[in-house]
Structure 1
Amino acid sequence: MQKVSVFGLALFSLIILALPLRAAAGDANGAETPVAAAANEQQIIESVDIQGNRRLRDEDVLYYVRTRAGDVYDPAALERDLREILSLNWFDKTASRVIVSDGLRGGVNVIFEVREWPIIRDLQFRGLKAVQESDVLKAFREQRAGISKEAIYDPVKARGATRILRELLASRGYANATVKIEEEEVSATSIAVTFDVDQGFLSRIVEIDFEGNENFKDSELRNALELVKETGLVSRFQSQDILDMRKLQFDLQKNVRSYMFSKGYFQARIGDPVVEGLGV
């Protein structure tokens, strides 16, 4: 049994050792190796162009492309160039691509096909009454929404702007407000954008209850609130009964906790408020 095993190993070793010799023999006879074949198959890029741009000049886009005519064709490099172009946020990522076609001299022609985002020529807010448009535009600037007249329109940024607008309306008591975006083509390179707002009903605070407060009465903690109150004649007149989650959070964490600390409860913690019956 041992002899058979040894013979098998020796035969296997001979086969492995023979393979390089055959390969070397092929080289000596002038046969083309895989590396040499790949070198001969390399193609040269004959031209690099941009297609689909209307507002931007070819040279403005090609400035960010590293690949040049005369370079060796490299698909990975072209994909890198496309990512670089799309990172500028000038083009629709879902409608831009690289096209490679056969050239007249045996090389390849490269075309970066793009679709430009339009410019916002007009910006409107329909149905918006609780907040001034100037306040909305200010919030857009401060939170870098990227939505304004003469800015490049990006649907992703527009959706982010709707969130900012809803938060602004919620701070005015319209927690159920909905915002939709309408787009209207003005020209081949520009667009009119309208934020269609349905404010809904104004939400007022009817009752404020506390849970887990074993050492304080609800009335004590309610009296510690300074910015937000239950609805009543005075609070309604002063607009303190309007549901504003940011004000409520600040009031709880600053004023109510300060009151508890003043009574010696330094480890007191207050969780996030839960709103019930919203919109009823």
Structure 2
Amino acid sequence: MEILTSEFFQRALIGGILIGVTAPLMGLFLVLRRLSMIGDTLSHVSIAGVALGFIIGVYPLAVGLVFALAATFAIEKLRKAYKSYAELSIAIIMSGGVALASLLFSLETGPGINVEGYLFGSIYTLDDLDLMLIGIVTLVVLVAVALHAKELFLISFDEDAAAVSGLPTKYFNMMISVLTALVISVSIKIVGALLVSALLTIPAACSLVFARSFRQSIVTVVVIAEIAVIGGLIMAGVWNLAPGGTIVMLLIAMLLLLLTFRRRKA
């Protein structure tokens, strides 16, 4: 149990708690808009940025963030080009991100690159700069959601009605995508590129099981994510397990329990 009082574990806990607020919050908007796969796409593109960061000697998460933002704008452009097949934009960008990441990582094989850490998460290696970046992104997301909660609600449930009412849907769609890119970029070091989508979507899936209002859904996704993050980190620390994988498996277990409870109640 000594690990629970270690400085690196406390940093991991702080970073995990912050991401436990923003990731499921943005994931809820994505799920309601049927864009849940965008999380996988942006995380894979971010990995390409991380690889380039190692090669050019720049803070990897910052470069990954730039790549994710660029991918966000590219997805929006492709969605307009393929209006009847909008999911093509996600598939195309994801394929390009994976291909570019593999090429960049193959160019640099130095001992400083921890590819596995960015794929599956390395939350125990969070430093002050990582926490500062995560804190800034958390603040930006919370402020944006608090200021535009009503608009985000309308766009998430009925985008056509929102457009007819005069709401600038393009602006808010882009805002959601940009905020999601920010969250995914800083989440990679916590749960990893291959698992970050779970932190975006599974809490939302849990809330859809029993939440009866949009406000209740917002509270539910955050509570479920925080239980999984804190519980997963403690379990991983005590039993020497992979933190990212433990968090995701705990989320899945919670979803299965909720589905079982609803079935029995019905």
Pairwise TM-score range, normalised by the shorter structure:
under 0.3
TM score, norm. by length of structure 1 = 0.18
TM, length-normalised to structure 2: 0.19
State the structure with bigger RCO (CA 8 A, min sep 6), 1 or 2: 2
Decide which structure has the larger Cα Rg and report it.
1
